[in-house]
Structure 1
């Protein structure tokens, strides 16, 4: 019997390793890992098998040799490394590689069940065609019925199903309707063109309704079996409500009387329409929008109209809308604070005090503002980990933690985070233990992730670790800034992950755009060797980010709210917002049109209170007076600050 690939590989590595006297250093193993990634096996040290991260070398060797590695060997590797994300990565990659090579038996041998990802499922059910067509077609139909485009791995399966009639005209129609409902008009049109001539009336009617949805009310045509007027109408309205909400708003009251949609469909369209209240100015908003918002009582849906009333100082409207919020959200810090503000503005001091008192119980920006108004201490609700004897030591000695330590030591923080997240998912009841372990080991990003994974919102020392404190203090002193402010920005931007990368290209602890870094470097006469790599070094990232914060504060004459909004959205946008901004600082925050920026400003300011409190500093105000003053001339400032995005 011939030896398996893994037996040969293991024997080779062990044999070579026996020639080495010394264990590899971190630097030597990193060199070997980089060589393995590039397929330069002659540069892989003989002693890699002795290292705790040897499975990573083996992973790249198997990956490089696929699809010529058997499924049994891949499965053996995955089983041996079941406590690592490597097991999932290798199975997924092998499945895709086997599928591309049309090795269907290997696909089924490797996967007992259909994979979770769409490409893997398509390959799995294509492989099933050979031995179990019923299962293949059942799985294929589930994949087909989607409003989104499917990956190329589905092509073979769908072609086979079309040729056998398993995907018939009704299935094509059904998917065309689903595609329009999901907003994918091009896919819908593509599918409609695939229908035969007897479906022409249904197809043309469906297209016409997009431009003339009022025809739904009088639609009286004969369609092929399987075409439901309600499904057609729902898809058209779901598509239009995102693009022409005013059209749907005009039509909506008539839909119920005409019986065009089912009750469930009508309710969903109503929710979608209510969610687009921000598309209308208060004076132009159709009555049906306000009625839907009132009936639904959803705080998130009411948000845009409430913010509009706040920005306009329409305190009667603020009271009315906060009163319409239903459920637990009604007593949130946000809604209670603004109810208190409205009552205070209307001279109802006792009721305002009651609302502020409720708001002050919340650990968030508006809860802190309410507490400040009442001269109450901030409600931090802090708790500590309660661990059993030996629990921390047991977790610390696991192979997963050994790998995490080793990955961290060789600068592979991204892989360390992957191992960490995988471990947290496998051990949900131990997340407080892992949070404490990360804190003690100086892994702030991992401590934060453990609290998020376990939803331990009150473990403040772990959610808000005092990370990189010396570096933040150094540059805060250099630029006359509050170090807790800089820490709060980094916590919001990257959760203290020095290697974080955003989809738009921002990098590092303080998520600085490369263009911004280059401009700041020129102004400060700093030398950047490779800006993308340099930003991943906290020793470069923190001083650049600190200087940028200082420059924004100078641009906005010390106003911290405008500076933070500029850091998140870019100063040019903030300049525009300031032109018509309310003078009151809290009203300005709610007038910011971008939800991300509104949430960002409030989060950073709340985080600063928490960080300052954890440092033992007495905090009596969320914002100092000079940080909150708004003057219209702020928008007239002509100083040049590099745009962040």
Structure 2
């Protein structure tokens, strides 16, 4: 428990006494009532609800009305939808109710209960029913274009509406081409076959050409395919060459040179190609990267491009170029200031370098800690205590959304719990969000606390943003696997914000985001179930084991091990330079943005936890003396 929480407890601020209940018994009553609701017995459901005193009582009602929508329950459903509109409880019931009304052809009722949604089937049904019941055609049909021009096939419920819209003359050649473009760029082959028939006969081949370039970007280099040298062909050519540059830079460069003699490209098209070429060639370390980076107009030089411009100059040791790049620009990032100072130092302008490094050294991030090591000053955590009035804590703790989130967390229904938490915070003031963060911290909802504070930019509440989550488990397994405690906690903080049930799009699981294959590998080739990976003890044991393995593979280098944790050991080996390079420079030149940022974040988080554990010193100081090489 952090110091400020200890003080709060000593003052008698026990946040949850006002709404505590015998959780086990109460939750069992809720689950029993929910099972009755699922069964569809209305009288038993009514009895169960009437006798239930539980924050999730509306979830019992939701369960019944979602599974058993009937016209005879319309009054109750209408009341439920009115009471819980805009909450996470609304759409499970509304969607089921609308589907029921549609099945029974209750058009007027459907229109009455419809609310705007991204569900194309419901929206098309809503618009069609209005036309069926005599609504003015013009305002209805004017809403159809956005539904029709999407790059995928729409539900059958839209067919009649689209037909009426088309017959009324709203489907223009421009809209057809817009949909061809969207469908081609999404690779929707069957839709393109249909759309080709809607193009003028002499342009029908364009749909196939677009698809061919999508499937194989090198097709764009076959300039014989562009028969008419029209504006539409130029769009396809630009699309193709922008994709080709990532796969075959040499072919893309040659193709673009020839294309410019064939087409009259707009400035916007040329600038988009220059931007994409610059990013692709810089990330690949291509010899023409510098040319294309400088070709991008100043107004299109965003943070991503400036990073590559700087990286290219760092690689070439163009210290003068870095000074020119950043001098005079407003709102330089901490990293840009750090490397501008570095360029000054390399040019012998140490006073200017140290002045700028001292400015960066007051920041609590990777560059701030590096700069502090450069000028020999203590690192700055800039931590502030969070003081929230007890009256506000009481108010938020009594909010129905908070009570529902708390009960759902206790029932381990984490997805529903987070929906309720998001609803609560999205409808709260910043002060109420701070209070909610305090309450969440007391309940060990680490990820909810971290994300809520980030949502309002409350960066300086370090104790809340960097909790000692699952400390006993991290101590036990970090010691067992001989890895630094601050390091292993920092990895988990970066990977999942300490959400035990985290699951990534790549199917990595749990606190330390382990792939099942990785977990099995470090578990003596024994398969580990996904359910077990959601268990903190199992995940931390295997995650710290994997860290130790990567540290050994990288001959004790924890920077390379950290990078390997994100990008994979073999990929990192390919990124190692032939000749020794300063470690801080190697980190800045990591070609994958995700991995580059990952390493910086983990190192910064590790320093925060290093200090929170009562340890002295700046651990990033070692980076300044380290060299990286194959």
Q: Above 0.5 in TM-score?
A: yes
Give yes or no for the alignment of 1:401 onto 2:402.
yes
Aligned equivalents of 1:298, 1:220: Cα separation in 2? 35
Query: What residue is the counterpart of 1:64 in the other structure?
Result: 67
Q: Deviations over 1:354-375 (max 9, x none)?
A: 3423432433212211111111
In structure 2, the residue corresponding to 1:407 is in which secondary structure? helix
Q: 2:519 aligns with which of 517, 520, 524?
A: 517
Query: What residue is the counterpart of 1:28 in the other structure?
Result: 28
Give yes or no for the alignment of 1:88 onto 2:86.
no
Q: Summarize the Cα distance change of 1:597–1:97 in structure 2 as closer, same or farther, 3 Å threshold.
A: farther
- Quote how far apart the aligned CAs of 1:90 are: 2.8
Instruction: Report which stretch shifted further, 99-108 or 604-613.
Output: 99-108
Structure 2 unaligned spans of 5+: 1-21, 214-218, 246-251
Aligned equivalents of 1:381, 1:613: Cα separation in 2? 12
In structure 2, the residue corresponding to 1:504 is in which secondary structure? coil
Instruction: Report which stretch shifted further, 162-171 or 555-564.
Output: 162-171
Q: Deviations over 1:102-137 (max 9, x none)?
A: 6543431212x5324544433432333323233331
Aligned equivalents of 2:624, 2:274: Cα separation in 1? 45
Query: What residue is the counterpart of 1:417 in the other structure?
Result: 418
Aligned equivalents of 1:67, 1:585: Cα separation in 2? 67
Aligned equivalents of 1:320, 1:206: Cα separation in 2? 45
Give yes or no for the alignment of 1:172 onto 2:176.
yes
Q: Deviations over 1:507-544 (max 9, x none)?
A: 11111122222233337x9xx8x711111111221112
Structure 1 unaligned spans of 5+: 1-21, 222-228, 633-645
Q: 1:500 aligns with which of 495, 498, 502?
A: 502
On the 8 A contact 1:322/1:335 being kept in 2, the answer is no
- Quote how far apart the aligned CAs of 1:274 are: 4.1
Aligned equivalents of 1:627, 1:33: Cα separation in 2? 64
Query: What residue is the counterpart of 1:9 in the other structure?
Result: none
In structure 1, the residue corresponding to 2:576 is in which secondary structure? helix
On the 8 A contact 1:122/1:157 being kept in 2, the answer is yes
Aligned equivalents of 2:372, 2:256: Cα separation in 1? 41
Q: Summarize the Cα distance change of 1:292–1:608 in structure 2 as closer, same or farther, 3 Å threshold.
A: same
Q: If the length of structure 2 is used for normalisation, what is the TM-score?
A: 0.81
Q: Over aligned residue pairs, what C-alpha RMSD do you find?
A: 3.8
Aligned equivalents of 1:59, 1:510: Cα separation in 2? 35
Q: Deviations over 1:325-378 (max 9, x none)?
A: 588676212112223333333443333323423432433212211111111222
Query: What residue is the counterpart of 2:244 in the other structure?
Result: 243
On the 8 A contact 2:486/2:606 being kept in 1, the answer is yes
How many residues are aligned here? 589
Give yes or no for the alignment of 1:306 onto 2:310.
yes
Query: What residue is the counterpart of 1:576 in the other structure?
Result: 574
Q: If the length of structure 1 is used for normalisation, what is the TM-score?
A: 0.79
Q: Deviations over 1:370-424 (max 9, x none)?
A: 1111112223333333433511111111222211221122222332221111111
Alignment of 1:315-394 (within 5 A): 315-316=317-318, 319-321=320-322, 323-325=324-326, 331-394=332-395
On the 8 A contact 2:583/2:626 being kept in 1, the answer is yes
In structure 1, the residue corresponding to 2:170 is in which secondary structure? coil
Aligned equivalents of 2:511, 2:164: Cα separation in 1? 50
Aligned equivalents of 1:277, 1:187: Cα separation in 2? 34
Aligned equivalents of 2:190, 2:558: Cα separation in 1? 47
On the 8 A contact 1:26/1:410 being kept in 2, the answer is no
Aligned equivalents of 1:394, 1:295: Cα separation in 2? 47
Q: 2:110 aligns with which of 99, 103, 107?
A: 107
Alignment of 1:232-631 (within 5 A): 233-234=234-235, 236-244=237-245, 246=253, 250=257, 260-261=265-266, 267-268=271-272, 270-278=274-282, 281-285=285-289, 287-292=291-296, 296-310=300-314, 312=315, 314-316=316-318, 319-321=320-322, 323-325=324-326, 331-429=332-430, 430-522=432-524, 531-578=529-576, 580=578, 583-622=581-620, 624=622, 630-631=628-629
- Quote how far apart the aligned CAs of 1:425 are: 0.6
Aligned equivalents of 2:237, 2:290: Cα separation in 1? 20
In structure 1, the residue corresponding to 2:523 is in which secondary structure? helix
Q: Summarize the Cα distance change of 1:629–1:37 in structure 2 as closer, same or farther, 3 Å threshold.
A: farther
Aligned equivalents of 2:159, 2:456: Cα separation in 1? 40
Aligned equivalents of 1:496, 1:187: Cα separation in 2? 43
In structure 2, the residue corresponding to 1:283 is in which secondary structure? coil
Aligned equivalents of 2:24, 2:331: Cα separation in 1? 60
Query: What residue is the counterpart of 1:55 in the other structure?
Result: 58
Q: Summarize the Cα distance change of 1:242–1:497 in structure 2 as closer, same or farther, 3 Å threshold.
A: same
Aligned equivalents of 1:275, 1:187: Cα separation in 2? 32
Aligned equivalents of 1:172, 1:24: Cα separation in 2? 59
In structure 2, the residue corresponding to 1:139 is in which secondary structure? coil
Q: Summarize the Cα distance change of 1:588–1:51 in structure 2 as closer, same or farther, 3 Å threshold.
A: same
In structure 2, the residue corresponding to 1:472 is in which secondary structure? helix
Query: What residue is the counterpart of 1:161 in the other structure?
Result: 165
